[in-house]
Structure 1
Amino acid sequence: MGTGAGRNTAIIVGAGMVGLATAWYLQERGYEVTVVDKKGPAAGSSWGNAGWLTPAKILPLADTSLWLYGPTALVDPDAALSVPPRLDPGMWAFFARFMSYATPRGWDRTMAALAPLAQASLSAFDVLDDVLPAEHRTRAVPFVAAFEKRSESEGFFSEIEGVRHHGLTADLEELTDLSEYAPMLSERVSVAYKLEGQRFIEPGHYVEALARSVEERGGRLRTGETVTRVRGASGADRLARVELASGEDLSAEHVVIANGAWLPSLAREHGVRLPVRAGRGYSFSVATSTPARYPVYLPYHRLACTPYEGRFRIAGTMEFRGPDEPLHPRRIEAIIRNAEPLMRGVDFEDRRDEWVGSRPVTPDGLPLVGRTASPGVYVAGGHGMWGIALGPATGRALAELIDTRGVPAEIEACSPLR
Structure 2
Amino acid sequence: MAHTVILGSGVIGLSTAFYLRQHQPGTTIHLVDSAQELFSSASGYAGGFLAKYWFRPDLVPLAELSFEEHKRLADEENGRERWAYAKSVTVSYEPNGPLLDGKRGEDWLLEGTSRAGLVEARREHKDDEVPDWLRRVEGDSVNVIDDGSGTAIVDPLLCCKFLLEKVKAAGVQVHNPAAALRLETDDNSKLCGVVIKNTETSEEILIPATKVLLAAGSWTPQVFKTLFKDRFSLDIPIGGLGGHSLVLKAPSKVTTCHSVYTTMGAHSPEIYSRPNGEIYVAGVNSPGLALPGPALKAATISQPLEKLKDIARRLIVTSGGEDLEIVREGLCFRPVTNRGTPYIARLTNEKLAKDTNLKEGQEGGVFIAAGHGPWGISLSLGTGKVVAEMLSGKPLSVDISGLGF
- Sort the TM-score into its range (normalised by shorter chain): 0.7 to 0.9
Q: Partners in 1 of 2:163 and 2:104 — Cα distance?
A: 35
Question: Taking structure 1 as reference, are residues 272 and 333 closer, same or farther at Cα in structure 2, changes over 3 Å only?
Answer: farther
Instruction: Tell whether 2:87 aligns with 1:124.
Output: no
Tell me, yes or no, if the aligned pair for 2:246 and 2:308 is still in contact at 8 Å.
no
SS of match in other structure, 2:98: helix
Map 1:66-77 → 2, pairs under 5 A? none
Instruction: Tell whether 2:380 aligns with 1:391.
Output: yes
Task: Name the aligned partner's letter for residue 133 of structure 2.
Answer: M
Instruction: Tell whether 2:221 aligns with 1:264.
Output: yes
- In the other structure, the counterpart of 2:155 is 202
- In the other structure, the counterpart of 2:268 is 302
- In the other structure, the counterpart of 1:37 is 33
- In the other structure, the counterpart of 1:191 is 141
Select the structure that is richer in helix: 1
Tell me, yes or no, if the aligned pair for 1:288 and 1:347 is still in contact at 8 Å.
no
- In the other structure, the counterpart of 1:369 is 344
Question: Taking structure 1 as reference, are residues 131 and 40 closer, same or farther at Cα in structure 2, changes over 3 Å only?
Answer: farther
Q: Which stretch shows the higher mean deviation, 287-296 or 117-126? A: 287-296
- In the other structure, the counterpart of 1:96 is none
Q: Deviations over 1:180-231 (max 9, x none)?
A: 6411112227221231221111110111001101111221222222x14342
- CA RMSD in angstroms comes to 2.8
Map 1:128-207 → 2, pairs under 5 A? 128-129=73-74, 132-134=77-79, 135-136=81-82, 138-152=85-99, 155=102, 172-177=122-127, 181-188=130-137, 190-194=140-144, 195-196=146-147, 197=149, 198-207=151-160
Identity of paired residues, percent? 21
- In the other structure, the counterpart of 1:80 is none
Q: Partners in 2 of 1:153 and 1:17 — Cα distance?
A: 36
SS of match in other structure, 1:141: strand
Question: Taking structure 1 as reference, are residues 288 and 238 closer, same or farther at Cα in structure 2, changes over 3 Å only?
Answer: closer
Instruction: Tell whether 2:322 aligns with 1:335.
Output: no
- In the other structure, the counterpart of 1:83 is none
Count residues with an aligned counterpart.
350
Select 1:274's aligned residue among 220, 236, 241: 236
Tell me, yes or no, if the aligned pair for 1:282 and 1:355 is still in contact at 8 Å.
yes
SS of match in other structure, 1:248: strand
- Under a length normalisation based on structure 1, what TM-score does the superposition of the two structures give? 0.75
Q: Deviations over 1:36-61 (max 9, x none)?
A: 22235423211121111112344xxx
- In the other structure, the counterpart of 2:205 is 248
Tell me, yes or no, if the aligned pair for 2:32 and 2:175 is still in contact at 8 Å.
yes
Question: Taking structure 1 as reference, are residues 40 and 399 closer, same or farther at Cα in structure 2, changes over 3 Å only?
Answer: farther
SS of match in other structure, 2:376: helix
Q: Tell me by how many angstroms 1:161 deviates.
A: 8.7
Q: Partners in 2 of 1:115 and 1:148 — Cα distance?
A: 31
Task: Name the aligned partner's letter for residue 23 of structure 1.
Answer: A
Q: Partners in 2 of 1:232 and 1:406 — Cα distance?
A: 29
Task: Name the aligned partner's letter for residue 365 of structure 1.
Answer: G
Tell me, yes or no, if the aligned pair for 1:260 and 1:359 is still in contact at 8 Å.
yes
SS of match in other structure, 1:290: coil
Q: Tell me by how many angstroms 1:307 deviates.
A: 2.6
Instruction: Tell whether 2:249 aligns with 1:287.
Output: yes
Q: Tell me by how many angstroms 1:232 deviates.
A: 6.5
Q: Tell me by how many angstroms 1:115 deviates.
A: 2.1
Select 1:54's aligned residue among 48, 51, 72: 51
Q: Deviations over 1:361-401 (max 9, x none)?
A: 11111101111234322111111101111111111111111
Select 2:335's aligned residue among 336, 360, 366: 360
Q: Tell me by how many angstroms 1:360 deviates.
A: 0.7
Q: Partners in 1 of 2:173 and 2:194 — Cα distance?
A: 16
Tell me, yes or no, if the aligned pair for 2:313 and 2:324 is still in contact at 8 Å.
no
SS of match in other structure, 2:13: helix
Task: Name the aligned partner's letter for residue 312 of structure 1.
Answer: I
Q: Partners in 1 of 2:401 and 2:271 — Cα distance?
A: 32
Q: Which stretch shows the higher mean deviation, 129-138 or 294-303? A: 129-138
Map 1:73-84 → 2, pairs under 5 A? none
Unmatched tracts of structure 2, length 5 or more = 106-114, 293-297, 353-357, 359-364
- In the other structure, the counterpart of 1:323 is 291
Q: Partners in 2 of 1:143 and 1:213 — Cα distance?
A: 30
- In the other structure, the counterpart of 2:109 is none
- In the other structure, the counterpart of 2:183 is 231
- In the other structure, the counterpart of 1:104 is none
Question: Taking structure 1 as reference, are residues 296 and 161 closer, same or farther at Cα in structure 2, changes over 3 Å only?
Answer: closer
Q: Deviations over 1:57-103 (max 9, x none)?
A: 44xxxxxxxxxxxxxxxxxxxxxxxxxxxxxxxxxxxxxxxxxxxxx
Task: Name the aligned partner's letter for residue 17 of structure 2.
Answer: A
- Under a length normalisation based on structure 2, what TM-score does the superposition of the two structures give? 0.77
Task: Name the aligned partner's letter for residue 343 of structure 1.
Answer: I
Q: Tell me by how many angstroms 1:349 deviates.
A: 5.2
Question: Taking structure 1 as reference, are residues 124 and 232 closer, same or farther at Cα in structure 2, changes over 3 Å only?
Answer: farther
Q: Partners in 2 of 1:289 and 1:121 — Cα distance?
A: 31
SS of match in other structure, 2:45: coil
- In the other structure, the counterpart of 1:14 is 8
Task: Name the aligned partner's letter for residue 193 of structure 1.
Answer: N
Q: Partners in 1 of 2:286 and 2:60 — Cα distance?
A: 25
Tell me, yes or no, if the aligned pair for 1:148 and 1:191 is still in contact at 8 Å.
yes
Q: Which stretch shows the higher mean deviation, 401-410 or 274-283? A: 401-410
